[in-house]
Amino acid sequence: MGLVASVNVGAARPMLAATGTSGIDKRPVPGPVHIAIPADGASGLAGDTVCDARHHGGTDKAVYAYAREDLDLFEPDLGPLHAGVFGENLTTRGLEVTGAELGERWRVGGVLLQVTAPRIPCRTFAAWLERDGWVRTFTAAGRPGAYLRVLEPGPVHAGDPVAVERRPGHGVTVGDAFRALLTEPARLAGLLAAGDDLLPEIREKVLRRAS
């Protein structure tokens, strides 16, 4: 069982991004934060902002989780990293986020979440960190964190336990999907083993590249 080290939300701010603004600058907030099933292109967290609705937010990417342990791996290169700096809504401890299976269900405080997909790095991420080559660096590390959908809304706050309520058993993890999509195309066909737990947009990519 892991726990929520921090709950983080962000407001829109000017950024070198396709939309001209970004909500990637997430900051820890005190007290409980309500998490709900969002409208298309919106965040699942109250008080959080999504600017790039094409790649973030909505039902399948309502919440983004990243492990504190993985943030720590980047500190020798980037320096001290506060919770939320990678744009994550939930910074976790004691939970293997990248090793979670697609479709895995987490009970987090009063909320039930389901793992849907890895985060794919973009130029906005690199611009925010002001690091040349950051997309390559992040991709090579293979620690993308996970997007989640909201199955049961409710409040979440720092210190809440994170319990894995269901693991599908197909063995296809967030990390597997990330590597197959970005660095190891030979693994793409293996993602189909996730069945209905594979997002349609990922399934389409797999089938398109296999054709």
Task: Kindly report, residue by residue over 46-85, the tens digit of the pLDDT.
Answer: 999 998 877 789 999 999 999 999 999 999 999 999 999 9
Q: What is the pTM of this model?
A: 0.95
| pLDDT value of residue 88 | 98
Q: Which of 122, 117, 95, 139 is nearest to 191 (CA)?
A: 117
Q: Quick one: how far is CA 147 from the chain centroid? A: 3
The DSSP secondary-structure symbol of 121 reads P
Q: How far apart are CA 135 and CA 131, in angstroms?
A: 9
Residue 40, both tokens: 């298309």
Q: What share of the chain is helix, strand, coil (3-state, %, to 5)?
A: 30, 25, 45
Of 143, 94, 89, 93, whose CA–CA distance to 113 is shortest?
89
**What is the mean predicted confidence (pLDDT) over 117-128?**
93
Q: Over range 201-207, report the average pLDDT.
A: 94
According to DSSP, the β-strands at 63-67 and 90-93 are parallel
Mean pLDDT of 171-200: 97
Handedness of CA 73, 7, 177, 172 (dihedral sign): positive
In angstroms, the Cα distances linking 33 to 37, 38, 48, 65 are: 13, 14, 10, 15
Query: How does residue 202 score in pLDDT terms, banded at 50, 70 and 90?
Result: very high
pLDDT at 155: 97
Over residues 27-38, mean pLDDT: 95
Question: Using an 8 Å Cβ cutoff, are 68 and 83 in contact?
Answer: yes
